[in-house]
Structure formats: C-alpha cells, structure tokens
Amino acid sequence: MQWEQIFKPAALGSAALAGAILAFPAQAQILAQVQLLASTGSAAGSAAPAAPAASPSAFFIITTVLAIGLCLFIARRLWVVHCERDAAWEEVASLQALTERDPLTGLLNRRVVEERFETLRSQGFDTFALIDLDQFKGVNDRYGHQVGDDVLVACGDALRGSEQRDYLAMRLGGEEFVVLLRGQDAYFRAEALRETLPLKIARAVPVLEEPVTASMGLIELPRTGHGVFSFKELYRRADQLLYNAKASGRNRTCFERLTVFNNAPPSRGSAQKIASECESQKAA
C-alpha cells in the first residue's frame, strides 16, 4: 500500500473535523501542523517512498489528533445539549410559576392553593381569612382602572411583605384576597394586617383622596379534623362573614371559630325538648 493512500484520506478527514474543533485554538493549531505534515508526506510519496521510520510516526500523530478532535467534538455537543436541557427546564419552571401566580399582584392564585389545601392544613394552617377592599368599584369609577390596578398591586405588596413561614397570601380575583395563617395569635395577626392596608395603599397610590379600607371574614379551624372542611366550604362560610362585616358598616372583621365533635350533638329540636322536660320537672 502506498503511503499516499494513507495520508491523503487522513488529511481530508482532519480537514473535515477542523470545523468541529475550531472552538479549541490549540487543537486547531496542532491540526494545521499535522495537515501540513500529511501533505508533505503525500508529495514526497509520489516521487519516492518516505523513510520507513518517519511514516508510521506521522500516521500515529494524525490518528491521535483525529481521535482527540472527535472526543472534543462529542464533548462540545454534549455540553450544548446540557445547556439546552437546562434552558428548557428553566422555561418550564418559569411557565409553571406563571400558572401559579396572579399576573397582576404576583400572589399565589386560587387554583394552586385549592389543590394543596389539605397539605397546608396538615402543616398547621388553621386560620382562613377572606379580605375584600371596601367600595373598590368607586375607585375604578372615580380614578380609572389603571389606578384601580395600582391599588390592587399595593394591596398585594402589603400582603406579600408580611409573608413568613406562618403566613400565606393569595388573590382570588377582583378585590378579594385570602390569607392562611398558622401559629399563635393568628386572629390578631390577621386583624393587624387588615388594619394596616389603608395606610400602605395610600403611600403606594398617593393620588387617592380617601383611604381604601378592607373588611374581613375570618374562620379559625380546629387543629384536628383534617379533611372535614374543604376550601370551597370554608370560602362559603368566610364569604358570609364578610357579607356580615360589610352590612355592619365595612372596615371591620366578623369572626367564627369552628369545632369538630367526636359525637354528633343533639339537634336543635332535641335540645329544646330536653330543656322543656327539665323545666317541667322543676315546676313539678
């Protein structure tokens, strides 16, 4: 076999790989030198066979460089795939975060909290506070929807600013917000949060000429009895308390503490019958 048949394909193969490894200047420089050596050996082989001692050495250098170039090319492709995969995961995480957050205020939305409500209950979140801004429609009518959005954003910032491990805020929609709390004095912490909203909103939206107050319906759940009350049931109860607060003059809280009995208590009719019987026995 003539050395030209070895060196010429090797030189062509190294040239093909040059584009793949140009990102590595040192390897590209070595490849250029080897290509020059291969072309020199090819020219010399056409006139006369090269020295037997030099030809195998050149062939070994070429094959080694080609192997290194191929490894570098594969490594570069793997790195590109790795970066593309990370970018895809980041995009998925970003899209997931968008589906879990209210686009205006950045608070959690109802869907994600409702789906995880039983888990949150098991983690001790046993106070459910429904907050609604008073006469918010008047803000939109008087100042426009842009100012109304600014008020909602300020309210969301006020609720998020107090977020801790024992506190979770979300926006249900419109001017309604829910705060879940756990730990000691949850009622007082929720009430303090509601009372600070007008001041924080006024600071964030200075064009308002009157304070924007809030009413709240708050339910304190028993520490036991997980699964007894669903998110929808608690929302229905809290909404009725909120209605009572607004009907009583707004800018206030109506509170309810729920209890779970191991045994069903007697019905209202049975209790009245027992009371009547006691009164009859006392009269006799």
CA nearest neighbour of 257 among 204, 210, 218, 207: 218
In DSSP notation, 57-118 reads HHHHHHHHHHHHHHHHHHHHHHHHHHHHHHHHHHHHHHHHHHHHB-TTT--EEHHHHHHTHH
DSSP letter assigned to residue 213: -
pLDDT of residue 211: 96
Look up tokens 């879940």; give the residue: 180
- The DSSP element (H or E) to which 173 belongs, if any, is strand 167-173
Low-confidence ranges of the chain (pLDDT < 70): 1-56, 86-98, 161-164, 225-226, 261-284
Residue 104 sits at the vertex; the CA angle it makes with 103 and 109, to the nearest 5 degrees, is 55
The rounded distance, in Å, linking the Cα atoms of 49 and 55 is 9
| DSSP per-residue string spanning 12-66 | HHHHHHHTTSTTSHHHHHHHHHHHHHHHHHHHHHHHSPPPTTHHHHHHHHHHHHH
- Candidates 113, 120, 117, 126; CA nearest to 258 is 126
Q: Which fold has domain 112-257?
A: Alpha-Beta Plaits (3.30.70)
Q: Is 175 a catalytic residue?
A: yes
52 vs 67: CA distance, rounded Å? 23
CB-based contacts of 171, cutoff 8 Å, min separation 6 = 102, 104, 105, 107, 108, 109, 110, 152, 156, 177, 178
Reported as type and span, the H/E element at residue 170 is: strand 167-173
Tokens of 161: 């600013």
121 contacts 222 by C-beta, under 8 angstroms: no
Active-site residue, selected from the candidate residues 100, 114, 175, 256:
175
Q: Do residues 27 and 65 lie in contact, with contact meaning Cβ atoms separated by under 8 Å?
A: yes
- How confident is the model at residue 64, as a pLDDT? 83
Q: Is 234:263 a contact under the CB 8 Å cutoff?
A: no
Residue-wise pLDDT tens digits, 54-64: 466 777 788 88
Where do we find the tokens 């309810």?
256
In DSSP notation, 233-249 reads HHHHHHHHHHHHHHHTT
Token output for 155: 């309210």
- Could you tell me the residue ranges of all domains in the chain? 3-98, 112-257
